[in-house]
Structure 1
Amino acid sequence: MSVRPSPDSSAPSIEDLIARRSLSAVFQPIVDFDDGAILGYEGLIRGPAGTSVEAPYALFAQAAVEGCGIALERAAARTCLEAFALLKCEGKLFLNFSAGAIRDLAAARDSMLALLHHVGVDPARIVIELTEQSAIPDFSNFLPVIAALRTAGAQFALDDYGTANASMNLWVRLQPDVVKIDRFFIHDIASDPLKFEAVRAMQHFANASGAKLVAEGIENEADLIVVRDMGIGCGQGYFFGRPNAQPPRLIADEASQAIRAHHIAVFPETTRTLGASPSGGVASEKMLVHAPALPRQATNNDVLELFNRLPDLHAVAVVERDEPVALINRRSFMDRYALPYHRELFGKRPCLLFANASPVVIEKSMTVEQMAKLLASNDQRYLADGFVITDNGRYAGLGTGEKLVRAVTEVRIEAARYANPLTFLPGNIPISSHIARLVSNDAVFYACYVDLNDFKPFNDEYGYWQGDEVLKFAAAVLADVCDPTRDFLGHVGGDDFLILFQSDDWRERALRAIQAFNEGARRFYAPADRLAGGIHGEDRRGNATFFSFVTMAIGGVCVNPTNSTAHCTSEEIASVAALAKRRAKQDPSGFVLIDESESDALLRGRIDAANVLID
């Protein structure tokens, strides 16, 4: 049994505060990303300064104890409306209400309209926010309440979406005009791929439902630019202004400049490597053979009849209550049945007599990494018998060893296109996608192709394990010089990398990477080779050659929307960058930039795309 907390004896009575009109209002701006204008304010309530109920949480907690929560909400709305009218602010006023207070508001619609008329605020400027603490026990009775408020001219918003009661169920049923994304998902979204994917899913649903999204909790430029470039239209947070009794009419220069920033956000990438994802769901679908199963009490004659009816069926699962308990391989079963008198002796006997009672079972949600471990295990029965695929433990179908090998191989190849399994940097598909985003947004950027000189001889001499360490070192050096909010670093493959720079000091960053790598790479050589200045090996023609230390080469090209590069594909841009890289490999500095006039001429000639991302 729960015990209702007793009132705070030191706190002033909420009813007295309401009666004495001791509440005050503060307002926080909500900003439109299209032009940086303030489209409205959220009205928030405060208790008397210096008291224990000054903060809104304490104020409403005390009201709950006293049983006057809805009365406080009504008083808060009145206080915010009157203060908003006196300020003569432009735009909309967002007001927070619980489900119970919204019902009360709709029931007293005439008095609320009279108040709006009295203070001079058009009902069309009001947005009613359903707070996240609100549970709605009966939607059939609540929907007419929302309809009544809309008829009066107000809009309806779902607050703090993604937490507590603010669920997709609520979104679908109430069809809000505005959905405010909870600050949990926005804070650090620039560096958190899971938050990014969650918000992107919300954005897709908003596009389908016609709702406008407001990103709450924006506190820095990086998060703002990611949210802006995702296509979310509005934002709120300390970066634009804290709640204040005298709110700003214009946002600060820092926020305004961030909204108008020309650089395009680098979206945080989810690592689609074998170990992290994709899940086995995709792979298991490729392996799944939809096949009938037999119950535990089936006979061997039932098995024979099924195999004769379905000649392509390689095995049959035996199930009990939809859960697999055994597997019967077609070949071994038919071989036994071909023996003299086998059918007469065993035809009516239980099918479990010749079944594998401990088959290999793969759950549909099993990760590809787990499937790959199965391939390397000592238990190789699945190669002959096949295996059972389950969905949450229930029989779903069968698979074969051949399909398992093929599915794991295909997913490995696909994963490598998204993220390099050695460095975990984005692969070719994310690289091309980001170039396309930059070009479509008319962003000025520098595409820099990175390669390592004399890497192959090093790899031949020291082995691929040590070669991999050099590649990981190169990736770390390049990542260190990149601004993760502006510069995109991808790993094309082997010793080839691509950086899409938007940083103003991109050239200094590139030169710093060359210097750091060239100095650090020497530690991967044996002491004798360091003293000798390199290693002896063979060139591509088999001639004995001395190779100096592995060094870094970077070739860059400027992509400017004012010239023809604005209409180029990612493959064509990468082609010019690859050409610059080949020149850089011959330059003593290890760095070459193809200027705008030459790149423009090259791209007008449409360089052969066969040279893209290879060399």
Structure 2
Amino acid sequence: MDNKHQLLDRILEGRYLTPVFQPIVSLVDGKTYGYEALSRISEKELEMNIEELFQTAFKHNKSWELETLCRGKALEQSVYMERGKKLFLNVNCNIIYDNTFREGFTKAYLQKFGLNSNDIIFEITERVSILDTHAFTSAVEHYQKQNYGIAIDDVGAGYSGLNIIASAKPDLIKLDMNMIRDVHKDETKQMLIRALSEFGKNAGILVIAEGIETEAELDTLIGLGIGYGQGFFLGQPDQDFKDISKEKADLIKSFQAKSYIRKSKTSIYPMAGYLSRSGHTFSPYEKALKIYETLQNDPSITEFTVTDRGAAIGFMTRTSLIEKFGGRYGFSLNSKKSIQQLTSRNFLSVNYDMPVNQVSKLAMQRQYEQLYNPIVVEKEGNYWGIVTIKDLLEACTKVEVDTAMHSNPLTGLPGNLLIDQEILYRVLGDAPYCIIYFDIDNFKSYNDAYSFQSGDMMLMLLADTLNKAAVKNEFIGHIGGDDFIVICDYHEAEKYCEKVIDHFSQRVPSLYHKDDIDRGYIISKNRRGLTEEFPIASLSVAGISNRTRTYQNIDSFSADIAELKKKCKKQTGSYYEIV
């Protein structure tokens, strides 16, 4: 018997394993979704890392004994896990249909640890080939019918992942850590992860990024739309069930806000805080019976938030509390408990300054039973109030109607009201921007000589050119007449301007008679009514970025851009300048 085999037997005989738990968190608000149960060897003199231990067990046909010990230890500790959180248990796909395994997850067995099937996620690794696909699929269906969750682990590490996903129809998939490593530097990884994220949303499967180790990886994954994450950067495995630190949760929220700004086409939606109301709050230590009696006497309280030292730590609807006191034993079981023992920590909370269309999107992604619950609003980490689904939908509808009302009827682009809001949002913010004004030179003379209909065609040509040149979600507006605006959420807009000028110069001759193009000018009347020669239409382009300057008010910005526009108009032919 080799040394590793002897160590394995000693560990199994002495049960020398300690479970540790790594948090799996929401990449929207940093709240803990669940914990993956991992194992560590508890005796220092038994020198073997955990990977070697499992490899040795597999080699000597003792995987079942080792996995059983690991699961048993994790379940013993689960009595200390907050209810409502998920416990992820690693399972070899070739034992999930074993009758002995099934007997280990009966309702009676779980009740011993204060768990139910909703709390358990079987995490099936993709690294092991399935020996009996039919038996595996039947077993997965059995556990899903019993309300266990199924997660496919290490997706992207081997060849069978997609087949397992197709056959198992899991509730969650976990992306292999090798896909996550340095994802911010690898566009191919980003494309693949984005595709898996979209697949998950369309298929109703939660996607978890495993092995997040750096701030840059976290930022990139949030930008790619990944909903959940796990890794040493967020929280290390621990013998206790620990949430991630407040600093990491705040970092997630800030990256989420930054991601929204990058993706959002418009900032015209109001912030969640503007729609919120104070709501009802209770201390976590208040007796549930007292609150139950308060609700009985005040029908207007339809929900409440539990706050501790200013922070929201729990949420409950009126219906949920009444249900807790219903039934044959509800009153006797719950009347002496504090309210924090009954409230759920699995609630949606958002920052005060999150736009309501983003809040609505997050709200609609919740589980059905929570779909119409109000959303908790926080400001600087403290409870601020709640906002209802009705208020969110009304606000979003109003914005959509206003957008349609304030768009230019000819080009369909946002008009002055929306443009002003966009400029204000950028100028008074601290994110990178470049605001560019486009003006058609000699437009009035063309309009007079060729008719208003032809003038409209030139305006539509420029609008189309501005749209086709856009590559980074630029905001494009039509101020009126021949004045347009483009707002970039980046500094270096020179290439965009050059592309617009080049394409406009190529396309605009099609709107002139051949004789005028050959001559290089048209003959029309100037503003004094005198006949004059006017060159073919060109573009004057003036832009200001906050690369080297910032503004405390909109008036200073307006004065600077007006001066720059005058300078550009004095140049001959198409000309742009960005400062």
TM-score relative to the length of structure 1: 0.45
Please identify the structure whose Cα radius of gyration is greater. Answer: 1
TM-score relative to the length of structure 2: 0.48
